[in-house]
Amino acid sequence: MSAPSSSDSGATSVPQLILELRELVVAYFRQEAIDPIKSLGRYVVFGLVGALLLGLGVVLLGVGALRTLQAETGSTFRGDWSWAPYGIVFVALLVGGALTWKARGWRRARA
């Protein structure tokens, strides 16, 4: 019986095996590391944009409330009481932030 040749047995050369192994490792790394990081990156970007827009909205609501208190209360906040609208808006924003923080913690505790 004669010894089988390398083309008959389907054996590949060592450099070919190394190349295939490298391609397999790169594909596995891409599948398990790169693709999840890319999808996670989308969530991070959308979260940052949403937080920025919410922050801008809160600032605009605070400025609007301040202007409303200054313009629509007549002479109530004039003279020595000119600081009061700023204090009222500041306290209102603190209370809103505290309620939001508490609701966030309550939701986490429930989950």
pLDDT of 4 above 60: no
State the total domains in the chain.
1
Q: How far apart are CA 28 and CA 24, in angstroms?
A: 6
The secondary structure of residue 47, as a DSSP letter, is H
pTM score, whole prediction: 0.63
pLDDT of 8 above 50: no
Residues 32-88: tens digit of each pLDDT: 888 888 888 888 999 999 999 999 999 999 999 999 999 999 899 999 999 999 999
Is 93 in contact with 58 (CB distance < 8 Å)?
Answer: yes
In a domain? residue 4: no
In a domain? residue 3: no
Cβ burial, residue 65 (10 Å; 0-12/13-18/19+): middle
* Residue recorded with tokens 């095996």: 17
Segments forming the whole domain that contains residue 101: 13-106
pLDDT of res. 53: 98
In the chain, DSSP assigns E strands to: none
